[in-house]
A and B are shown apart, each in its own frame.
Chain A
């Protein structure tokens, strides 16, 4: 119930800015075209492995849409701001766990972005590009689950980033660094198997592929849904981290007296 109330509030709050967000959506789709053009240019000279020139365009296009579910969340879930205003002490005192509160709110944000950004950009690409569409219901379902897991993992990571605001005033930089790593290690622009060995190794052992690489490959029918096991494992592990960190936050706030 609380989940629904918090999520819905965030969703409705966002609705007011639909007009401004529309321009944002246009910009985002332009960014996608830029990345696709890179691959399209390369594909004129050489074959592109199992993706093929059409496949790689769909790969980048779907990733660009997924950003709105898995990457562009509220900066550190807004924890930095509430640390600055001192509201964090209040939020930690509420009977509901801080992580749960913020997660509920963020799902509202993700839901809004799915409807007003993911879907319009996807529809645009589906019209103007030779965009690949899965044929089986099973693939659609698996993709949906993969995106949900991606959203959840991203929420966890942002929670961890936001929480650092209690220790340093510059936590917002971590958000951008996380975003930069995300674009490199999640397979956003370059499929992981084409990364140089050391980077591929790091990416392989990080949670980033769950955000783009895994969902998009499932969508393209290149990976089986069983690859989601990794995403589930990361979701569980990050949840434990978030809960543990909240304990530390509580102690820190108690010591400082807010």
Chain B
């Protein structure tokens, strides 16, 4: 398939003026000084995203996520390297690229604060030069998909955060862009609203066939939506692949908590046949034993069979590693 987004050896460094030493007129002297410190926010990042993919772009704060997104959308110009959005260069062709992009910032709205939602769409339609018929059809379609009907005529400032996010999402989709950049689309939402936004995002990707690049700190977003994850850390890409690959690569253990009928007798020979990393007892508390198990090396059944050697098992509880912890390990 033809790639929708191509990023090749993308770098961005900022020159920060070095603050002048303490003393009178410090601010003025800083402004005049020629001493800079170079800060590399993004270093040699390359990836390619095919049409219709749903990709999570994650990393800790200050890793270079938003700098990358800004370069992809033409807000910032790269120091080196190249970006292509559907064959166009956002640096040279900002306005043409803008027509193919829909961008959502969860942190701030792009709608007109004091106007009814509908009016914001009218203004945006005029900006993108959408004819009235097409605009009306498009708004009906989006209102249907995102259920905007009930607050279409309410001023944006009176919407709940969840409603506002849906309205913003529709604004990003109004001009029918091929590519969507979503920056923290679920930030600050409650559990119910988060779930519904995720459902909408899923159908935007599947039904409307949009290519989506999602940055977020909410790992549930990533786990439930993305077929592929790109992890950026300290300006370089640390991982690029599927979620399962990511899990495997980190190899976080499954926790098995076994409760025995009697106090278990731990012999030193029991687990010796296995390598330390595959199954390891970490805690003994009365009748309960907790063990860590590496599923790559040993199956759950085998692990239980081993643990049965300590006594008759009454109850078993298994805990898969949290995705959040997986990511944490990667940073």
Contacts and interface: CB of A to CB of B under 8 A. Distances in A.
Q: Do chains A and B touch in the complex (CB under 8 A)?
A: yes
Contacts of B28: 19
Contacts of A19: 25-28
- How many chain A residues sit at the interface, stated as a range, is under 10
Interface string B23-42: 00111100000000000000
Contacts, number: 6
A2 B28 CA distance: 34
A19 B30 CA distance: 11
Nearest to B27: A19
- How many chain B residues sit at the interface, stated as a range, is under 10
Nearest to A20: B27
Interface string A10-48: 000000001110000000000000000000000000000
A20 B26 CA distance: 12
Interface string B16-27: 000000000111
A14 to B, nearest CB: 14
A20 B25 CA distance: 10
Contacts of A20: 27
A20 B28 CA distance: 9
Contacts of B27: 18-20
Interface string A61-89: 00000000000000000000000000000
Nearest to A19: B27
A115 to B, nearest CB: 14
B10 to A, nearest CB: 36
B91 to A, nearest CB: 34
A2 B296 CA distance: 66
Nearest to A17: B27
6 contacts: A18-B27, A19-B25, A19-B26, A19-B27, A19-B28, A20-B27
Interface of B: 25-28
Please name the 6 residue pairs, one residue from A and one from B, whose CB atoms are nearest each other, closest first: A19-B27, A19-B28, A19-B25, A18-B27, A20-B27, A19-B26
